[in-house]
DNA sequence: AACAATTTCGCAAACGTTTGCAGCGAATTT
DNA sequence: AAATTCGCTGCAAACGTTTGCGAAATTGTT
């Protein structure tokens, strides 16, 4: 045995990875015995187990995930495709899914598409090549063809769409309550007896924008005490800034922002003009909670929690893996978080 | 052939993944021929190639990455371990590394440790089990034992430490210019003839804090026109807020923030007190560029670019893979970006 | 027509694991 | 003493690829 050990010590610079075979040769046992010993199989005696585990540790054995996946065809790996990880909401979502995955013995392959449908497809291929067990995906705004994603279902790979979901029906989706959260924000404004609201919304051809705009408008307009509502669209923080500057002449008493990005643009103008919040102008937004806390007073917001959405997406995934063929379209509830801005 | 095709079409619900073997049986060719045809090997005739590629496409063939990695023992996969992805700087770093990786045919396994050394070790194991080709790692503040990371080098797996790097010498590191960037900020302050500076620094036992504090102090103090310097430490945004409030009585004319987190805390107090920047108080920070753009006027900052650091880390990685055994400790240059806050 | 050269392809081993099955020695039962 | 059990371990196939080598089929050369 000592001889064997020396031999392997010498060749360690060439064969740099410990394998079951290597351990088996040193110990004079078969590969299968080593494999079973390491996973505490009842067939193997305690003496043997101890010897094996000990050597495995000193040799710093790490099982080869590729071999295991190949053999068992169960990768215990989820794919997660997102337009960008540089985003508070997605950050929270990812952290949440990752935590759950880790706790349940899965790992996570995070891929970002940079809003490029081509990269998105590349990422999808990568997921398939790595034989993922399931996929979480938030499609980019420019993605028109979701066929490739649906194809995974034929391969028995569950797909959970989150946040930006396709408009078709036969797929699992988890979303924030787009309409409801806008309604809640509108109600908060109404309750505060505001008179003139500037609502800044996002890219007008996104589904999320349409939903929020419609719900917001309806809620504001259904009130008897007529509130004047000005709406406009901004696709970026800078555009939101311009819109704020343009509409400030009309003296709104309240600003509603559909997203963090828009809030940030709007708040730059608030600072620039030296406006007091909420005395000169009230502000309310829809957010995961990161951006509103940047300001003083903290901005009142309707929370759409990436963290909660992650939990929901994960449990939906587990349900699919558990054999549920029930297609679900889930929504997390929203919550009004009071800052001092309204 | 038609018979074969039907057979496979029927069993498609069971055997849900196309393999080389499947294609070979349908086409009546050997597995090796299929393999070669798909990678455009010169041994295979154009006719055959065409037939193979065509069928592979209709059958939606995707190579099994696990099998390939097992066979070739070249995973073309980098690991990236970071305390948290919820961070502008790391976001930029990751995006940069990911882009380069994709362009060079590598994929990236992103893992976050949540500043927990135990999860960090778990993540490291995951990387090893997946037989990564190389590792980018930013150690968490509480990590004391970097042995496990260094062990990778014995396995011929390059390790590039970035941002938070260990203090030992025999490892590859890429960093932002901690001392230099603090010096640049200090010089900018001196040039503006400021008289009384409040410097808010991070967690005092982090190397980065020590370096920045020392450089900042030295630069401020070496000037003949004595500048009064107050320094304090904050480990979070909220602490920075408290410190600001506490020291505001001493009427500093300038605030220096060591990081985004601290800037955000400080700026909340600026907003709270209705201070005009830069008239009432000047502000300068060190940042990747995200946070300074949240405010009006935009905050003047010394840029430490996550994007550039990513590029540097990647090229350092490629150098290692290219066979360079030269241990390098690289630093990206900083850059003063003028906002209107100083 | 015979031979060489070239094109085209298949065989089989290997990568590192898991796992059903069988083997074997010893202890217990009949 | 033979048969049965039980505890421990090994054999061998399989997962899906890649690739060196050899063989067959085709072409070109005399």
Per-residue pLDDT tens digits for A123-179: 999 999 999 999 999 999 888 899 999 999 888 999 999 998 888 888 999 999 999
- Residue B16 counted as domain residue: yes
Q: Which of A18, A20, A77, A86 to mutate to test the interface with B (most CBs of B within 10 A)?
A: A86
3-state secondary structure B197-224: EEEEECCCCCHHHHHHHHHHHHHHHCCC
**Residue A10, domain CATH:** 1.10.260.40
Tokens of B253: 């004319």
The mean pLDDT value of chain A amounts to: 91
Please tell me which of the candidates B98, B151, B264 has its beta carbon nearest to residue A60: B151
Q: Are residues A171 and A315 in the same domain?
A: yes
Among B129-138, B188-197, B318-327, which stretch is predicted with the lowest mean pLDDT? Answer: B318-327
Q: Are residues A209 and A283 in the same domain?
A: yes
Mean pLDDT of B125-152: 93
Mean pLDDT of A207-230: 90
Mean pLDDT of A97-101: 95
Q: Are residues A95 and A122 in the same domain?
A: yes
- Among chain A residues, the shortest Cα distance to B298 is held by A268
* Residue A53 CA from chain centroid, whole number: 38
- Residue B11 counted as domain residue: yes
pLDDT in tens, A23-66: 999 999 999 999 999 999 999 999 999 999 999 999 999 999 99
Q: Note the CA–C1' distance, B45 to C4, in angstroms.
A: 21
- B 73-132: CB within 7 Å of strand C: 73
Q: What is the DSSP string of B33-77?
A: HHHHHHTT-TTS-HHHHHHHHHHHHHTT----HHHHHHHH----E
Nucleic strand C under 7 Å from the C-beta of B52:
no
Q: Are residues A83 and A110 in the same domain?
A: yes
Q: Which of A11, A60, A110, A263 to mutate to test the interface with B (most CBs of B within 10 A)?
A: A110
Nucleic strand C under 7 Å from the C-beta of B64:
no
pLDDT in tens, B239-268: 999 999 999 999 999 999 999 999 999 999
Q: Note the CA–C1' distance, B45 to C2, in angstroms.
A: 27
Nucleic strand C under 7 Å from the C-beta of B155:
no
Q: Which domain holds residue A313?
A: 75-176+307-333
**Residue B162, domain CATH:** 3.40.50.2300
Q: Are residues B167 and B278 in the same domain?
A: no
Q: Are residues A85 and A19 in the same domain?
A: no
- Residue A94 counted as domain residue: yes
Which bases of strand C have any atom within 7 Å of the beta carbon of a protein residue? 7-12, 14-20
Based on the number of CB atoms within 10 Å of its own CB, is B268 exposed (0-12), middle (13-18) or buried (19 or more)?
Answer: buried
Cβ–Cβ below 8 Å for B131 and A268: no
Say how far apart CA A260 and CA A269 lie, in whole Å. 15
Please tell me which of the candidates B92, B155, B295 has its beta carbon nearest to residue A268: B295
Q: Identify the band that residue A92 occupies on the pLDDT scale cut at 50, 70 and 90.
A: very high
Give the model's pLDDT for residue A328: 87
Say how far apart CA B118 and CA B139 lie, in whole Å. 12
Number of domains chain A contains: 3
Q: Are residues B184 and B297 in the same domain?
A: yes
Q: Are residues B11 and B89 in the same domain?
A: no
Q: Which of B262, B292, B296, B297 to mutate to test the interface with A (most CBs of A within 10 A)?
A: B296
Give the model's pLDDT for residue A16: 65
Give the model's pLDDT for residue B16: 66
Of B63, B89, B111, the residue at which a domain comes to its end is B63
Tell me: pLDDT of A225 over 80: no
- Residue A338 counted as domain residue: no
Which chain B positions have a beta carbon within 8 Å of A325's beta carbon?
none
Q: Are residues B48 and B105 in the same domain?
A: no
Q: Are residues B163 and B138 in the same domain?
A: yes
Q: Identify the band that residue B308 occupies on the pLDDT scale cut at 50, 70 and 90.
A: very high
Say how far apart CA B32 and CA B48 lie, in whole Å. 12
Tell me: pLDDT of B8 over 50: no
- Residue A129 counted as domain residue: yes
3-state helix, strand, coil in chain A (%, to 5): 45, 15, 35
- Residue B68 counted as domain residue: no
Q: Are residues B90 and B168 in the same domain?
A: yes
């Amino acid at each position: 045995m000592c001889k064997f050990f020396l031999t392997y010590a010498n060749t360690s610079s060439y064969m740099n990875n410990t394998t079951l075979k290597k351990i088996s040769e040193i110990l004079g046992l078969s590969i299968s015995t080593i494999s079973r010993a390491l996973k505490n199989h009842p067939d193997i005696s305690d003496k043997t187990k101890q010897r094996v585990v000990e050597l495995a540790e000193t040799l710093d054995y790490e099982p080869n995930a590729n071999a295991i996946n190949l053999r068992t065809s169960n990768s215990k790996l989820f794919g997660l495709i997102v337009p960008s990880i540089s985003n508070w909401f997605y950050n929270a979502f990812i952290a949440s899914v990752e935590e759950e995955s880790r706790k349940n013995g899965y790992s996570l392959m995070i891929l970002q598409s940079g809003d490029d449908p081509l990269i998105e497809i590349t990422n999808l291929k990568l997921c398939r090549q790595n034989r993922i067990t399931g996929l979480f995906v938030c499609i980019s705004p420019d993605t028109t063809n979701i066929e490739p994603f649906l194809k995974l279902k034929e391969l028995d790979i569950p797909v959970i769409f989150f946040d930006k979901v396709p408009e078709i029906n036969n797929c699992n989706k988890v979303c924030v309550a787009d309409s409801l959260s806008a309604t809640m924000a509108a109600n908060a404004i109404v309750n505060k007896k505001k008179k003139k609201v500037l609502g800044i919304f996002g890219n007008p051809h996104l589904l999320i924008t349409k939903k929020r705009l419609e719900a917001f408008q309806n809620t504001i307009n259904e009130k008897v005490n007529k509130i004047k509502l000005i709406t406009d669209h901004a696709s970026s923080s800078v555009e939101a800034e311009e819109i704020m500057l343009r509409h400030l002449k009309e003296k709104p008493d309240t600003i509603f922002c559909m997203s963090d990005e828009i809030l940030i643009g709007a708040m730059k103008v608030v600072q620039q003009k030296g406006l007091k919040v909420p005395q000169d102008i009230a502000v309310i937004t829809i957010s995961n909670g990161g951006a509103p806390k940047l300001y003083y007073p903290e901005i009142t917001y309707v929370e759409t929690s990436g963290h909660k959405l992650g939990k929901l997406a994960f449990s939906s995934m587990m349900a699919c893996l558990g054999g549920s063929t029930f297609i679900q379209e889930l929504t997390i509830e929203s919550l009004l978080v009071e800052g001092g801005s309204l």
